[in-house]
Amino acid sequence: MRYSFIFLLLLLIAFSSCHTSKTNNGKGKITVVTTLFPLYDFVKAIGKDKIEAHLLLPPGVEAHSFEPKPEDIIKINKSKVFVYLGKNMERWVEKIIKSIDSDKIIIVEASKGVKEYPEEHEHEHENEHGHGKMNLSINDPHVWLDFDNAKVIVDNILTSLVLADERNSDFYTKNAQVLKDALTELDKEFEKVLSKCKKRYLFHAGHFAFNYLAKRYNLKYYSAYKGSSAEEEPTVKRISEMIKGIKKHNVRYVFFEELISPRIGEVLSKEAGVTLLKINPAHNLSKEDMERGISFIDVMKYNLNQLRIGLECQ
């Protein structure tokens, strides 16, 4: 009897998720579910009061270790639009997509069409000839840190919102253009500041996240982690290489991420005598920043100020 009740309850949940209105939720708004903060922020900027945006990633949670819960899947199935970045970032998304009725839900791969840089991870190492460099092939899914790519993501989101709610097409198009103009101005500001830096070496005590930003502005990027997952702890050899590289290039500042333990940064600070500066790849925010309504543009301006200090820009 108990199991029959549970079975009926599950059927009711499934029925509810398939038949709940996805266009208004009783509020006259399009329901959009997103996986990462940049997507969430862009959706809100484009849709404003015409949409109801949801971010699956809880505040303060590291994106690469996130796995959706049953309630998250129910939320996706109740949405009109589901926006994810790409399979390199949300590795769990393929299974979810297979279970979604694409005739009822608009599924958006937001990174489709972005420019991809060579997947290189340059690091210092000792070889038989002394100190040198080596490029490792590593994937960096943080494509939005090239602001041209961010604009492609905006266009992909815009297309989905227009498809879901054609009567408000002009409204969404106008807002998307305002956002793209802001990203263009942001890119100009980054270029202006970072072109005048004494140091061109960005040493990062976090996971491999800033390759796109570094390539965009002609910086040399060194990450303590060999990949994009913060769960892959740096080896002693890798930390040693970082320390040698910091000393070789006479670097005074090393960057760390708010949502990852600063332990590696503290080791580098102690052993190499450098100062730590916080930086955010923007895939998520702390609970405090989310409550304050911090935007993607705000995060990037904060990052630029940190880079200005750390790279000793004029």
Whether the pLDDT of residue 200 is over 50: the answer is: yes
Whether the pLDDT of residue 192 is over 80: the answer is: yes
Q: Kindly report the average pLDDT of the chain as a whole number.
A: 86
- Per-residue pLDDT tens digits for 241-274: 999 999 999 999 999 998 888 899 999 999 999 9
Q: For residue 2, name the pLDDT band (cuts at 50, 70, 90).
A: very low
Say how many C-beta atoms besides its own lie within 10 A of residue 165's C-beta.
19
Q: What is d(CA 156, CA 154) in angstroms, rounded to the nearest whole number?
A: 5
**Which residue intervals of the chain are DSSP H helices?**
2-19, 37-47, 70-77, 93-99, 147-164, 169-194, 211-216, 236-248, 263-272, 287-291, 296-310
State how far the alpha carbon of 185 is from the alpha carbons of 74, 120, 180, 188, in Å. 39, 28, 9, 5
Predicted confidence at residue 227, as pLDDT, reads 66
Span 97-110, average pLDDT: 90
Lowest mean pLDDT among 24-28, 38-42, 273-277: 24-28
What domains, with CATH codes, occur in the chain?
A: 15-115+145-180 (3.40.50.1980), 120-138+187-310 (3.40.50.1980)
Predicted confidence at residue 100, as pLDDT, reads 86
- Per-residue pLDDT tens digits for 135-165: 444 578 999 999 999 999 999 999 999 999 9
Q: What is d(CA 160, CA 294) in angstroms, rounded to the nearest whole number?
A: 24
